[in-house]
Amino acid sequence: MTTSQSVFEAGEHITLAFELSTPTTVSLVCHSAYGTTIVTPNYDLADALFTLPENTSTKKGILDFKLISKGTSLYNGSINIIANTKNKTSLESYIGPPSISAGTHDYTMLVVVPTDSYDNPIANNTPVSIKHQFLDDQKEASIKTNDLMAWKTIHSDKKSGRILVSSTVNAVSSKEFAVEVFPSQPTNFTIDYHRKHTYADGNQITTFTTSVIKDTYGNTISDGTLVDFTIKNQNNSLLKTQGMSINGVATAFMLHPDHEEIWNVSAHINGMATSNTITINYKAVTEKLPVHFSNANRRISIGPLQSFMEQLIPDGAIVKLTITKNEQILETKLKTTANGMVSFDLEKGFYPPGTYSFIIEALGLTSIHSNIKL
């Protein structure tokens, strides 16, 4: 082999020359990590010249070759193709995850893959400049490539916000990346309530609100954080309502009970934070449950039902009628009020003449009427 050069840059015009003792037909078998290629000489004379094709000469790595004549290997050798340093470097950058939690434990990672114009990894130990900015703080670090890439972890701060990251290699800059730093796990908080009046009218709304919920580092929690409010009444039954935080405050609503009641209310963010427990008392709106029988006791009228200022209760209050005979429940009827009144009609086809008892329940009050003849 008369070619003395053994190191070439990718994309360079590579010609390998061999001196033949006698003219003969030869070919050059080239083998690299990308595959095997057979190259024919430019001409068959005493000297054989082989120009490597572009798909071989532009790929970085060790290229082994054999000079073959009629199935016999005349010469073995190799050359080293390195990344191109003359053309502009190409830069691919990746970052993830795109969001992390505040505090020094969580981090994102920037990966930089610089290549030459032929997509070959540039040489190891090439300097890479990485810059990132957060709030009023800007930092720069220099790292070096190794085995195709360079990478750096960027840890979150104790404050929430947005980190901007970029990188530069051989005067070529990447695009700007943004990483959101969200507040960390919320801490315990307090709740309070607001209502228009203290009466259990089944109509007005009680509003529950939290204090401004913050994380361990004093950051206001993210908007949209779900807060569950749990209400335990005097019967140990549970009611639930939910609210999502806005500017750290969650608000939820619950309709007043329709009877005298005591609520114990607490809130929690599932698996992370809890609140104090507050107690809310609701007064009965009335102590009167007027009941009238007419039409040979087959029409039972309840009302007018009045609220705490002697006004008619809002439409929609539930009235329950339980019909019994010989201490056995025959039927339970439910109706809602309109203009403070509810009427139940007992048809002869369903209730033949006889003696019945009636239990009427509304607004937490109970009225029992026994031995009523139909």
Give me the domains of the chain, ranges plus CATH numbers: 7-82 (2.60.40.10), 90-182 (2.60.40.10), 191-284 (2.60.40.10), 291-373 (2.60.40.10)
Can you tell me the distance from the alpha carbon of 314 to that of 252, in angstroms, rounded to the nearest whole number?
A: 23
pTM of the entire predicted model = 0.73
pLDDT of residue 20: 79
Identify the CA nearest to 225 among candidates 279, 187, 276.
187
Q: Which of the 8 DSSP states describes residue 236?
A: -
3-state secondary structure of 118: coil
Q: What percent of the chain has pLDDT over 70?
A: 99
Q: Per residue in 137-155, pLDDT tens?
A: 999 999 999 988 999 999 9
Flag whether pLDDT at 98 surpasses 80.
yes
pLDDT of residue 201: 86
pLDDT at 64 over 90: yes
CB 312 within 8 A of CB 306: yes
